[in-house]
């Protein structure tokens, strides 16, 4: 891969696994320095040892208001600037609403919506001052049609879809590009409750995406000429409807 992100500083939330890890590794391969943000200290340290000095661990629990508020200062302390934010951290609740736990609903909405909005809010002044920046948010296919088996999760992603589209229109004049990726089902920890046989069957049928495939789209978005914004990409496994 050409080192198309040479000299760029990126921060990725939820970077210890899944899409966040794949995105981080794709950016590292393209020459970026990546601040990998996650609450899993053990996993982060192992990853940063593997990738060397271009990967920096930032242990943070984004559901803690203090940790969330200190995120940008910590990024700047470690890396000096920020060119790319991939707001990827999120969680999932599926099933019938009547069966959902209220505390779990609060946690999911806080992480999937409030934390994303606060992270973007906090990095914008830095990017506006520098007249450049890229913000990519991990959304979901669920942001684009009402999925009856996941009403809380889908609602969180509909909110993020609106957030991306409105913030984009506010900040493009400052040289900042804002976009989202909306994948269908991806082989990540969010599928941990799937039975092993169902996961194998879906993989064999080609009805799941791999995190690396999502990362390729992130890289496509980041490496377009500055005069082009890839706004919102919906990704589906070809055999999704089987």
The answer to whether residues 109 and 151 touch, using CB atoms and an 8 Å cutoff, is no
**Burial tier of 199 (Cβ tally within 10 Å: 0-12, 13-18, 19+):** middle
Flag whether 241 is in a domain.
no
Within-domain flag for 58: yes
Give a yes or no: residue 78 inside a domain: yes
pLDDT of residue 240: 75
In degrees rounded to 5, what are phi and psi of residue 129?
-65, -30
Give the integer Cα–Cα distance in Å for 180 and 140: 9
Locus of tokens 């794949």: 22
The β-bridge relationship of strands 84-87 and 9-13 is: parallel
What mean pLDDT comes out for the span 17-31?
Answer: 97
**Residue 194, pLDDT score:** 64
- Does residue 240 fall inside a structural domain? no
What does the pLDDT look like over 124-170, one tens digit per residue? Answer: 999 999 999 999 999 999 999 888 889 999 999 999 999 999 999 99
**Would you say residue 242 has pLDDT above 60?**
no
Kindly state the average pLDDT of the residues 74-98: 96
Residue 43 is part of a domain; what is its CATH number? 3.40.50.720
CA neighbours closer than 13 Å in the CB half-sphere of residue 107: 9
Lowest mean pLDDT among 68-72, 78-82, 142-146, 212-216: 142-146
Exposure of 231 in the CB half-sphere (CA atoms within 13 A): 10
Strand order from edge to edge, sheet including 133-138: 55-59, 33-38, 9-13, 84-87, 133-138, 176-183, 232-235
Question: Is residue 239 situated within a structural domain?
Answer: no
Domain assignment present for residue 48? The answer is: yes
Active site residues: 153
Q: How many domains does the chain have?
A: 1
Local confidence band at 191 (pLDDT 50, 70, 90 cut-offs):
low
In whole angstroms, what is the distance from residue 235 CA to residue 19 CA? 13
For 118, the domain range is: 9-234
- Assess if residue 208 is contained within a domain: yes
Q: Is residue 2 assigned to a domain?
A: no
Cα separation, 125 vs 59, whole angstroms: 23
Q: What is the mean pLDDT of the chain?
A: 93
* Inter-residue contact 46 to 22 (CB < 8 Å): no
- For 195-235, the pLDDT digits (tens) are 677 667 777 777 789 999 999 999 999 999 999 999 999 99
> What does the pLDDT read at residue 145?
85
Please indicate whether residue 141 or residue 242 has the higher confidence score (pLDDT): 141
pLDDT mean over 40-48: 96
d(CA 188, CA 190): 5
Q: Could you tell me the pTM of the whole model?
A: 0.93
């Amino acid at each position: 891969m050409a080192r198309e992100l040479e000299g760029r500083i990126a921060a990725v939330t939820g970077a210890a696994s899944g899409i966040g890890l794949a995105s981080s590794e794709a950016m590292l391969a393209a020459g970026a320095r990546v601040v990998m943000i996650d609450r899993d200290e053990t996993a982060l340290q192992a990853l940063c040892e593997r990738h060397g000095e271009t990967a920096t661990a930032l242990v943070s629990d984004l559901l803690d208001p203090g940790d969330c508020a200190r995120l940008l200062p910590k990024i700047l302390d470690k890396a000096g600037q920020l060119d790319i934010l991939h707001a990827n951290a999120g969680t999932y609740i599926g099933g019938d609403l009547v069966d959902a736990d209220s505390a779990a609903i609060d946690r999911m909405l806080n992480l999937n919506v409030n934390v994303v909005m606060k992270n973007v809010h906090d990095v914008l002044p830095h990017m506006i001052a520098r007249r450049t920046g890229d913000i990519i948010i991990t959304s979901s296919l669920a942001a684009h049609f009402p999925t009856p088996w996941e009403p809380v999760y889908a609602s969180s992603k509909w909110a993020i879809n609106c957030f991306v589209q409105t913030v984009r229109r506010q900040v493009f004049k400052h040289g900042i590009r804002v976009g989202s990726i909306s994948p269908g089902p991806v082989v990540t920890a969010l599928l941990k409750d799937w039975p092993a046989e169902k996961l194998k069957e879906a993989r064999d049928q080609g009805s799941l995406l791999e995190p690396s495939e999502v990362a390729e789209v992130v890289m496509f978005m980041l490496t377009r000429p500055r005069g082009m914004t890839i706004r919102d990409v919906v990704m589906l496994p070809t055999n999704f409807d089987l």
